[in-house]
Amino acid sequence: MISIVAETIEVLERRIDELRVAVRQAVLAGDRALAARQRSALTSAERAWEDALEEAAAQTEADPLARAGPVARGSVAQGKAAQSRAAEPPARSGSLLPLREQVYEALSLLQVPAAPKLIATVHEAFFGATFPTTRVTSLKRDEERSFRTAPFARPYYICAALSADYLAPSRGLLAVSTWPLELRVIGSLSPRVDFLTAAIRVAEAIERIPEPPAAARRLLQRFAASVSGAISAGGGADPAAVREAARAELTVHREADAKARRVAAERARGLQHAEQLFGTAMFRDRAGDGAADGADIAGRGAGE
């Protein structure tokens, strides 16, 4: 337990160093607005560092049963630290992690490719911090650029899920590069299979937590509403019932989906590494993912 806290402190120290550099650069560049933003980020990072230190101290002193899990944490720290946190949203040091690590945390819980919105909701429910989904689109571009400049330099990359037909990046889905290709290709049944799998993962995660936070219960309720037979008679969502209902439907689709994914993954293995992670550029007419522009395109096609 102490080691986890210690690790968080180290992450925070690195973050504080980075922010100091950012503040210096912004001040020297004369960008007051940016400097002010970075300063406030720095202040909150320092406050979190103090909190984390206090917590670590409290843990070494007493209460060997105290758990530093994301949910139990609030009960551990006492006094001033707890008060200062109570005033803030239920954010913990996780919110100070870089975006890619937050996305990684959420995807690791789900274990299936997911859209930014779901990733953000899952992170909020289980890790106590959320982020604007708009930032996620640029994250994938950054990851791709980083991979192309120095392949495999990082232990993992936030990458694309590939559409099974053209092995192009599947619109709006993110995955983790260390996952097997079979998991990262998306056939026509895969969205449903992945949704049901995610429902099971969320239900299991909630079962592991003694007192699930409200955001997690809301998330489960939303999953339950879209799985036949998952809502219990009282209208509530019981993790075990959701898990069972999702499993029951999953058995219907699993085999056909796995077969399609195996075939597509086999084809994808013939691609270069960067394409395996970020998709082929066969027809691509734009960089990155490009959130669909839902606009009316009727005006675009000229008369023939």
Partner 1 sequence: MTARQPGAGLQTGLDRLRGRALPKNHDARTISALAANPGCARRALMDAAGVDKQRVAAHVGFAAQFGQSRFAIVRGNAFEAQVKENGAAQLLILLRDLLDLDVSEVGYADFNDVGGNSSAELRHLHTRHVLTAPDQPGRTLLDHPLLRLRVGGRHAYLEPDLIALRLDGTFHVIEVKSFAVIDGQADPGKVAAAAIQSAVYVRALRDLVTEAGGDPAAVSHKTILVAPRDFSSQPTAASLDVRRQLGVLDRQLSRIASIETLLARYPGTLTFDLDPDAQGRPRRPAAELAAAIGQVAASYAPECLATCELCFLCRDEAGGTTGALGKPVREDLGGIEYIAQARSLARGQVPAPEQAEIAAQLLRAAQLRAQVLGEAV
Residue selected from 67, 171, 218, 247 as contacting partner 1 according to rule CB under 8 A? 171
Contact of 81 with 51, CB cutoff 8 Å: yes
Cβ burial of 214 (10 Å; 0-12, 13-18, 19+) is exposed
The footprint of partner 1 on residues 179-208 (CB under 8 A) is: 187-192, 194-195, 198
Contact of 111 with 197, CB cutoff 8 Å: yes
- Residue 280 contacts partner 1 per CB under 8 A: yes
**Contact window for partner 1 (CB under 8 A) among 52-60, 138-146, 165-173, 232-240:** 165-173
Q: Which residue's structure tokens are 């001033």?
A: 80
The site that binds partner 1 (CB under 8 A) totals a number of residues, namely 50
Phi and psi at residue 165, in whole multiples of 5°?
-75, -55
Distance, in Å, from the CA atom of 90 to the CA atom of 238, rounded to the nearest integer, reads 24
First to last CA, the chain: 69
The footprint of partner 1 on residues 63-102 (CB under 8 A) is: none
**Contact window for partner 1 (CB under 8 A) among 15-23, 71-79, 123-131, 288-296:** 288-296
Distance of CA 53 to the CA centre of its chain: 26
Residue selected from 8, 170, 197, 276 as contacting partner 1 according to rule CB under 8 A? 170
- Residue 165 contacts partner 1 per CB under 8 A: yes
SS3 content of the chain, % helix, strand, coil (to 5): 60, 5, 35
Nearer residue to partner 1 within complex by CB, 128 or 169: 169
Contact of 50 with 56, CB cutoff 8 Å: no
Q: What mask of x and - would describe binding to partner 1 in positions 100 to 119, judged by CB under 8 A?
A: ---------------x-xx-
Measured between alpha carbons, how far is residue 55 from residues 10, 58, 85, 194 in Å? 14, 5, 12, 38
The footprint of partner 1 on residues 222-251 (CB under 8 A) is: 225-228, 249
Residue selected from 70, 213, 239, 279 as contacting partner 1 according to rule CB under 8 A? 279
Q: Using H for helix, E for strand and C for coil, what is the string for 98-154?
A: CHHHHHHHHHHHHCCCECHHHHHHHHHHHHCCCCCCHHHHHHHHHHHHHHHHCCCCC
Beta carbon of residue 233, minimum distance to partner 1 (angstroms, whole number): 17
Nearer residue to partner 1 within complex by CB, 128 or 187: 187
Residue 227 token pair: 């799985």
**Contact window for partner 1 (CB under 8 A) among 28-36, 73-81, 269-277, 289-297:** 289-297
Distance, in Å, from the CA atom of 23 to the CA atom of 19, rounded to the nearest integer, reads 6
**Contact window for partner 1 (CB under 8 A) among 2-10, 73-81, 83-91, 281-289:** 281-289
Nearer residue to partner 1 within complex by CB, 12 or 107: 107
**Contact window for partner 1 (CB under 8 A) among 2-10, 59-67, 158-166, 177-185:** 158-166
Nearer residue to partner 1 within complex by CB, 29 or 291: 291
Nearer residue to partner 1 within complex by CB, 117 or 273: 117
Pairing of strands 158-163, 169-176: antiparallel
Binding site for partner 1 (CB under 8 A): 115, 117-118, 163, 165-171, 187-192, 194-195, 198, 225-228, 249, 252-253, 256, 260, 279-286, 290, 292-294, 296-304
